């Protein structure tokens, strides 16, 4: 049987021989929303054959209904005016020759904390920590397996099986996260994923209005988010608009076939984002990119279908209001219908102007990436997406900076050159920068398990432009390559009872782990009170001899960052940076608190990113 944790099974009060459940999506709504149009999708046996009536309710009008090929679905269009008050709407569903079914639908009052204690948005002042809930901490072993769900695996020795981490486990570790300067959590998807296997990642939803019970369900999600907001921390939800799991009820029991993309035979996406912007692209190549399926087990949603579009957009608004979300990360952004994405983004931002939305843009080239974001390019398609996951500053930035020999276009010059293309974005500061995530190899492994290089990467992450995002465990030297073994989704040591070590504590970490941990913690906590690092401008200098210098500054503070990517110390002349040094007498190392002379020259040890605050 399907376990449903939302109050979405409404009791039919009509006189019938046996009681049945009736599902309504969204499960409830709110009075006082700016968009007064609401489309309910009702699912119940034969509901499409009924005539619908709404008991008079001040400020609410029933505008029309829609039937589908599948008679078990019905769509109801409502207008909820500004005068409508919270309360219960009462619908009757009458079928000829049968007693009418009476159904209640709740209009709630909106939360008064919106924009103040919740739904505050995410910005450059924040430090995001990305968690795969199944792999971080197991706070409630009773939900490790849920009877009736298709995936009954529970094997921590197998990277592809479930491991039992949950939302309660994350809540239990909030002291640790806040101590290291984290201000916002981004969780991989938490919606129900009732698929037969590979459900640890969460990207194949089977019910949009159910939080996966193996993570603790809606009660645990509310509890975690409330705990975050009480600490003045934030929550980012992961959205998947492009596809669902093949066991989603909308696919297994379709209203009609137009809700999904179909081909004469199975057709995969080409993953070629270039076709969307290529002035010479063939129409079929564009279609395969956007309408092809991501993988065989994830049906591709037809966002041109207005009912599917409404279902997805209303769900995003529903989650934002219900849980008090501060931001959205959008999975596989480039594979969606981009006009739909503009419509969806606008709907969210119209309702919540302070909300931050950033999309996954795993593409190649700053021009490609900026195409999907709000940009300064004169092209027919104009995106309204505020920010992106900045793969360019990863793939063509910090990774080659610390893994390639210095050259005209190689090594740290790649980082410099990539940042120089920020003119393409409307606001590059809203992009999320990162060292690694759940899909790519661990940064520690990418830099050859070099402690100095990992520390350099963390220093870069916390001092560069944009919103920094750390993948769980990077701070305690978790390692692994994405291919072929997938060992980038290990458990956080100490998150399970009986773990041989507990990396949440200093005593459980090795000296090397504590060295990196303390380095990151010192800088992240400094950043919490640094106006220059949180909101300041950036100025960069052309790298010379493997040394790259950039500044973060505002009217109150200036931070000097010198990245020496060489295997030997380098000395640079201070006179080159007179533009930024003018008015300052010295600098103080943020990590060591030692004074640094900036009068004549500065010597930087090998494989070091010096971060220092200028002193007048």
Select from 345, 339, 248 the least CA-distant residue to 297. Answer: 248
DSSP string, 277-305: H-TT--HHHHHHHHHSBSSTTSPBB-TTS
Residue length of the chain = 616
**Alpha carbon separation from 475 to 184, 188, 374, 509 (Å, rounded):** 16, 19, 32, 11
Q: Which two tokens stand for residue 18?
A: 């046996």
257 Cβ neighbours under 8 A, 6+ residues apart: 69
155 catalytic residue (yes or no):
no
Q: Which of 331, 390, 436, 491 is catalytic?
A: 331
Distance CA 411, CA 403 (A): 7
CB-facing half-sphere around the CA of 284: CA atoms within 13 A: 2
331 catalytic residue (yes or no):
yes
Distance CA 144, CA 465 (A): 40
Distance CA 419, CA 417 (A): 5
Contact between 149 and 197 (Cβ < 8 Å): no
Q: Which of 126, 134, 337, 360 is catalytic?
A: 360
CB-facing half-sphere around the CA of 72: CA atoms within 13 A: 14
Distance CA 440, CA 447 (A): 13
* Residue found under tokens 């009609």: 256
Select from 418, 260, 244, 212 the least CA-distant residue to 331. Answer: 244
- Helix, strand, or coil (residue 217): helix
Contact between 506 and 367 (Cβ < 8 Å): no
Secondary structure letter of residue 396 according to DSSP: I
Q: Is the peptide bond before 90 cis (omega within 30 degrees of 0)?
A: no
Catalytic positions are 331, 360
């Amino acid at each position: 049987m399907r376990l449903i944790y939302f109050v979405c099974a409404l009791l039919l009060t009509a006189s019938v021989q046996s009681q049945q459940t009736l599902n309504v999506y969204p499960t409830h709504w709110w009075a006082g929303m700016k968009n007064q149009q609401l489309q309910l999708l009702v699912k119940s046996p034969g509901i499409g054959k009924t005539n619908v009536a709404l008991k008079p309710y001040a400020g609410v009008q029933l505008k029309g209904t829609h039937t589908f090929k599948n008679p078990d679905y019905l769509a109801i269009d409502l207008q909820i005016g500004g005068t409508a008050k919270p309360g219960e709407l009462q619908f009757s569903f009458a079928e000829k020759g049968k007693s009418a079914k009476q159904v209640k639908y709740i209009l709630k009052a909106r939360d008064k904390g919106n924009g103040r204690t919740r739904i505050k948005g995410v910005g450059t002042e924040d430090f995001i920590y990305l968690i795969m809930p199944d792999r971080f901490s197991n706070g409630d072993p009773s939900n490790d397996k849920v009877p009736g769900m298709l995936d009954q695996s529970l094997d921590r020795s197998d990277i592809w099986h479930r491991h039992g981490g949950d939302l309660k486990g994350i809540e239990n570790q909030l002291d640790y996260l806040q101590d290291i300067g984290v201000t916002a959590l981004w969780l991989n998807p938490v919606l129900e994923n009732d698929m037969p296997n590979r459900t640890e990642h969460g990207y194949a939803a089977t019910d949009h209005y159910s939080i996966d019970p193996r993570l603790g369900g809606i009660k645990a999600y509310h509890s975690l988010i409330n705990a975050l907001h009480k600490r003045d921390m934030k929550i980012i939800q992961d959205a998947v608009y492009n596809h669902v799991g093949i066991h989603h009820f909308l696919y297994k029991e379709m209203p009609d076939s137009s809700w999904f993309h179909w081909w004469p035979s199975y057709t995969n996406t080409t993953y070629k984002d270039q076709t969307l912007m290529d002035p010479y692209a063939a129409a079929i190549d564009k279609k395969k990119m956007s309408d092809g399926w991501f993988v065989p087990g994830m049906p591709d949603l037809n966002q041109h279908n207005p009912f599917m579009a409404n279902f997805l957009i209303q769900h995003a608004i529903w989650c934002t209001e219900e849980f008090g979300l501060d931001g959205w990360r959008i999975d596989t952004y480039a594979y969606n219908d981009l006009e739909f994405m503009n419509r969806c983004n606008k709907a969210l931002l119209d309702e919540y102007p302070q909300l931050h939305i950033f999309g996954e843009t795993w593409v190649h080239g700053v021009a490609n990436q900026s195409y999907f974001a709000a940009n300064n390019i004169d092209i027919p398609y104009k995106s309204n997406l505020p920010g992106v996951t900045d793969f360019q500053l990863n793939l063509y930035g910090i990774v080659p900076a610390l893994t390639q020999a210095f050259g005209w276009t190689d090594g740290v010059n790649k980082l410099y050159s990539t940042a120089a293309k920020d003119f393409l974005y409307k606001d590059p500061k809203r992009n999320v920068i990162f060292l690694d995530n759940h899909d790519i190899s661990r940064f520690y492994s990418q830099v050859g398990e070099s402690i100095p290089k990992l520390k350099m990467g963390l220093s870069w992450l916390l001092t560069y432009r944009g919103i920094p995002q750390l993948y769980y465990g990077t701070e305690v030297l978790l390692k692994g390559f994405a291919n072929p073994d997938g060992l980038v989704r290990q458990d956080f040591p100490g998150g399970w009872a009986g773990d041989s070590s507990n990396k949440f504590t200093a005593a459980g970490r090795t000296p090397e782990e504590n060295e990196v941990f303390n380095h990151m913690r010192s800088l992240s906590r400094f950043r919490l009170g640094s106006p220059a690092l949180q909101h300041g401008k950036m100025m960069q200098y052309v790298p010379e001899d493997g040394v790259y210098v950039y500044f973060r500054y505002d009217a109150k503070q200036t931070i000097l960052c010198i990245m020496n990517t060489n295997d030997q110390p380098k000395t640079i002349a201070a006179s080159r940076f007179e533009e930024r040094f003018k008015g300052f007498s010295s600098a103080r190392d943020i990590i060591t608190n030692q004074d640094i002379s900036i009068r004549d020259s500065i010597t930087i040890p090998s494989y070091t990113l010096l971060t220092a605050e200028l002193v007048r």
